[in-house]
Amino acid sequence: MLLQQLSIQRLRNLSDVKLEFSQLNIIYGDNGSGKTSVLEAIHYLALGRSFRTHLASRVIHYDHDEFLLWGKVNDHSIGLQRFRNGDVTIKIDGVKAKKLTELLDFLPLQLITPESFSLLTGGPQQRRQFVDWGVFHHDANFFAIWNKCKRLLKQRNSLLKRKASYKEISYWDRELVTYAEQLSELRNRYINSFNPVLKGIIERFLPDTDVTVGYSQGWDKKSDLTQLLEKNYPRDLALGYTTAGPHKADLKLRCGTVPVADALSRGQLKLLVCALRIAQGVHLHSQVGKQTIYLVDDLSSELDGQKREVLIDQLVETGAQLFLSVIDASQIKHQTSKYQCRLFHVKQGVITRDITERE
């Protein structure tokens, strides 16, 4: 996948920007100049949402009522217009898209920001989303199964809140168990094939650590889910929600027996997040042939020169299109000197190509 061109209008402080990208793109400029906003625009075009806020109105330039994005992706034209009242229009090759999911398949994207280590330090939901990104792109059945599980669990929880009898709940549990097992099987299969790729990158990024990756499906492997739901019924009823199931799945990353969040430094956590995200893209490409794009905001934060070099080398080796933001291009000049790259200087929302770039 290649984002060849991007036009951004009225998004944050970017009033009117037109960019032509190459394989390796470096976006640099002072604090508050608009670097993250460029990455936010790419993210919006790929996924129909920001990574900084759930409120579209925050992303629209203060003086306007909508922003407009247009991108050329592998010679397809993608347009997205977002209004302050929440309306959104998406056009793919001039044809109005009916659903946001039409967009998702177009530009698989991996994002790494200074906040990304919350993938390791935060709750399991983020890690489930991480796993599901991979399963979604690998298996065409995933979305329907995932959606079914989500709806059945929602319904089960509302029955629990209404203090429904076990008889009533068990009628729906039969269907829930079927989809839960399918979902778990897809996730398991994905993780087993993804793990060796991840292991290789972790060894390169963190050679002195012994990070292991385990997966918990959300209920005891040895238990039958139907029986477990029955056994848990009194507790679930008291709590008003379902305590075991695929919605409790988690990826367990440990150093020895200690969770990585308690064992690794911030720089090491950042590298581990980078390893996870890069490995997903590499694995997707090798298995499905789809190339991911990588957005790395504030690449140099938390990393020393040698680690920056390892990270940039690994990113370039993926063969994917890269968008890297830094405050000062000289921070990564040494590490990128061997590669062709396009440099974009951002100053108060205005972006210019750097004449000293190497292409």
Phi-psi region of 108 (alpha: psi -120 to 50; beta: other; left: phi over 0): beta
| Interatomic CA distance for residues 321 and 39, integer angstroms | 13
3-state secondary structure 262-310: HHCCHHHHHHHHHHHHHHHHHHHHHHHCCCCEEEECCCCCCCCHHHHHH
- The greatest distance separating any two alpha carbons of the chain, rounded to the nearest whole angstrom, comes to 72
- Asked if 31 interacts with ligand ATP (CB under 6 A), we say yes
Report the residue from 4, 5, 7, 13 that binds ligand ATP according to the rule CB under 6 A.
13
Give the residue with the Cβ less far from ligand ATP, 7 or 157.
7
Give the footprint of Mg ion on this chain (CB under 5 A): 36
Contact range with ligand ATP by CB under 6 A, out of 60-68, 127-135, 143-151, 236-244: 60-68
Q: Which helix (H) or strand (E) holds 102?
A: helix 101-104
| Interatomic CA distance for residues 331 and 309, integer angstroms | 11
The 10 Å CB-count burial string (b at 16+, else e) for 327-340 is: bebebbeebbeeee
Give the residue with the Cβ less far from Mg ion, 36 or 314.
36
- Asked if 34 interacts with ligand ATP (CB under 6 A), we say yes
Phi-psi region of 289 (alpha: psi -120 to 50; beta: other; left: phi over 0): left
345 binds, among ligand ATP, Mg ion, none (CB under 5 to 8 A by kind): none
Minimum Å distance from CB 76 to ligand ATP?
27
**Between 278 and 317, how does the x/- string for binding to ligand ATP read (CB under 6 A)?**
----------------------------------------
> DSSP for 29-74?
-STTSSHHHHHHHHHHHHHSS-SS-S-HHHHB-TT-SEEEEEEEET
Give the residue with the Cβ less far from Mg ion, 29 or 245.
29
Are 322 and 329 in contact, with CB atoms under 8 Å apart?
A: no
Give the residue with the Cβ less far from ligand ATP, 92 or 327.
327
Site size for ligand ATP (CB under 6 A):
15
Give the residue with the Cβ less far from ligand ATP, 132 or 297.
297
- Asked if 68 interacts with ligand ATP (CB under 6 A), we say no
Give the residue with the Cβ less far from ligand ATP, 18 or 76.
18
> DSSP for 69-81?
EEEEETTEEEEEE
Give the residue with the Cβ less far from ligand ATP, 2 or 327.
327
| Interatomic CA distance for residues 255 and 263, integer angstroms | 7
Contact range with ligand ATP by CB under 6 A, out of 58-66, 71-79, 134-142, 283-291: 58-66
CA atoms within 13 A on the CB side of 233: 14
Give the residue with the Cβ less far from Mg ion, 27 or 135.
27
- Asked if 54 interacts with ligand ATP (CB under 6 A), we say no
CA distances to 184, 190, 229, 282 from 176, in Å = 12, 21, 10, 33
Token pair recorded at residue 334:
């040494």
Minimum Å distance from CB 328 to ligand ATP?
10
**Between 234 and 273, how does the x/- string for binding to ligand ATP read (CB under 6 A)?**
----------------------------------------
Give the residue with the Cβ less far from ligand ATP, 29 or 48.
29
- Asked if 350 interacts with ligand ATP (CB under 6 A), we say no
- Asked if 330 interacts with ligand ATP (CB under 6 A), we say no
Minimum Å distance from CB 86 to ligand ATP?
16
Strand, helix or coil at 3? strand
Are 323 and 356 in contact, with CB atoms under 8 Å apart?
A: no
Report the residue from 9, 36, 110, 318 that binds ligand ATP according to the rule CB under 6 A.
36
Minimum Å distance from CB 107 to Mg ion?
21
Strand partners of residue 258: 255
Residues of this chain that interact with ligand ATP (CB under 6 A) are: 12-13, 29, 31-37, 58, 60-62, 327
